[in-house]
Amino acid sequence: MFLSVFDIFKIGIGPSSSHTMGPMTAAAQFLESLRTGLREPGAGEVFRVSCSLHGSLAFTGKGHATDRAVMLGLLGYLPATIDPDAAELALTQLHELALLRPDGLPRLRFDPKTDLVFDFGPPLPGHANGMILRGHDANGNLYMEETYYSIGGGFVMTAQELDRLNQGGAEEFHAEKAAQGYPFPFGSAEEMLHMGKVSGKSIAEMKWENECANAPRAEIRDRLDAVWKAMDDCIDRGLRMDGTLPGGLKVRRRAKAIHEQLLAERGRNIAQPHVVNDWMSVYAMAVNEENAAGGKVVTSPTNGAAGVVPAVLRYYRDHCIGATEEGRRTFLMTAAAIGGLIKHNASISGAEVGCQGEVGSASAMAAAGLCAALGGTNEQIENAAEIALEHHLGMTCDPVAGLVQVPCIERNGLGAIKAVSAASLALRGDGQHFMPLDNCIEAMRQTGIDMNENYKETSRGGLAVNIPEC
């Protein structure tokens, strides 16, 4: 599966790419299946829809607004285009009438109180984030059923699609890329470096050529600029907003106050040299406070890790000498290439491998992007990504109360700081290093497999069960 830069960076809503955006997309896809798919033998007309959430979608679904997301998807909304005001009105009407009015289908019964079930039993076999959507006829007979998996970063696959992906391998991967006409079908960092050496092109240049196999360069550039604008706007919104985040933990927004302190210190020669870390942290925290509030964010590569790449890119633009618009595009293209490698060879899902797959992947992407924007070679870029990822290995996903707030907001700030340090270290070297990025990605995958389920976005371990008594 070719992962475009726009697969890695998707504009959507918070608080979670896997628990909010994915289920919303799956529900909308199920409506499309009802319009075009084959019914069960002997079933009458579709009359009612139901949904069951499994695994991590059940355990932390309330905190991640998964139930709300499913309802919005069944109402026809999608993460990238949702109108918040219209959506709230539609949800109110759904709760009152228990009725869906989808285009191209008859009116469908759906009562959120009885037709949306959190199943706290064993997870479905394909992935920790599983959900089953069903259509029923007026007699209660099964009309259609589909199992979906939200596999991280807003990506959704049916059970059949996931089975085909798991049964495939490197040979099939390359055959698919060749058939689709992508000039640089690298499936590993080793192949990426080899293709760069043979062609004389940078990672970003190879990524540009792959993207331009499907669309004109000007269109890709405009869409890439729109991604950055959404990131930048999200930072600015987060720096303006204050108050308390929703969800019941009463977590206060801090980005605005910290930003005001940093602005007040400028030009007064009173700040410590390490104040630049505070700037990176406040940019990341601004994004993740917006995400926690259900605002508009960009998966980078997930919502839970959405602050790292924008924070480092804002750091590049506002604090680095010689920053340019072209450097910003190089940053994003390079970061997307690294994110694609991690997703293809391991995972970016906290429910599957812990937060090493979310903030760890984001930090590796940001480190590679910054290294590239500052003129690093392909070998230095690969080294930067490896350094950042290596020092997130083993990181658990343990959100308190299932909310993407504690420790997630601060964790993005630290991920940004690690990314900049990794890029700087790599630029001090010549690209030669002991541990290849591919091996580090494989170590993350193996660590995720061995990690106890309590530490993979179930909120049953770690910080999630060690909180103050109220």
Query: What's 150's domain CATH number?
Result: 3.30.1330.90
Percentage helix, strand, coil, to 5, in the chain?
55, 10, 35
Kindly state whether residues 378 and 276 are assigned to the same domain.
yes
**Residue 69 forms part of a structural domain:** yes
Residue 180 within any structural domain of the chain: no
Residues in the chain: 470
- 24 in a structural domain: yes
Q: What is the DSSP letter of 9?
A: S
Tens digits of per-residue pLDDT, 313-367? Answer: 999 999 999 999 999 999 999 999 999 999 999 999 999 999 999 999 999 999 9
Considering the domain architecture, whether residues 220 and 144 belong to the same structural domain is answered as no
pLDDT of res. 181: 82
Kind plus residue range of the DSSP H or E element containing 276: helix 275-292
- Judge if 277 and 371 occupy the same domain: yes
- Asked if 191 and 154 sit in the same domain, the reply is no
Is 174 inside any structural domain? no
- Tell whether 171 is covered by a domain: no
Same structural domain, 153 and 269? no
Task: Determine phi and psi for 407, rounding to 5 degrees.
Answer: -100, 15
Together in a domain, 252 and 387: yes
The verdict on residue 181 lying in a domain is no
Same domain, 209 and 345: yes
- Same domain for 140 and 211, yes or no, is no
For residue 468, what pLDDT is reported?
Answer: 86
CA atoms within 13 A on the CB side of 366: 34
- pLDDT for residue 57: 97
Which residues, given as ranges, of the chain have pLDDT below 50?
1, 170, 173-174, 179
DSSP 387: H
Q: Which residues pair with 51 in a beta bridge?
A: 116, 133
Helix axes 378-390, 437-450, angle to 10 degrees: 20
The CA-atom distances, in angstroms, between 324 and each of 105, 204, 261, 331, 337 are: 50, 15, 27, 10, 20
Residues 144 and 260 reside in one and the same domain:
no
User: What would the DSSP string read from start to end of 96-111?
Assistant: HH-EE--TTS--EE--
Domain span at residue 44? 14-165
- Tell me if residue 189 falls in helix, strand or coil: helix
- Statement to judge: residues 101 and 207 lie in one domain: no
Contacts of 35 (CB under 8 A, 6+ apart): 104, 105
Number of domains the chain contains: 2
**Domain match, 330 and 391 both:** yes
In a domain, 292, yes or no: yes
Q: What's the confidence (pLDDT) of residue 169? A: 54
* Cβ pair 57, 150 in contact under 8 A: yes
Which pLDDT belongs to residue 226? 97
Looking at the domain assignment, is residue 4 inside a domain?
no
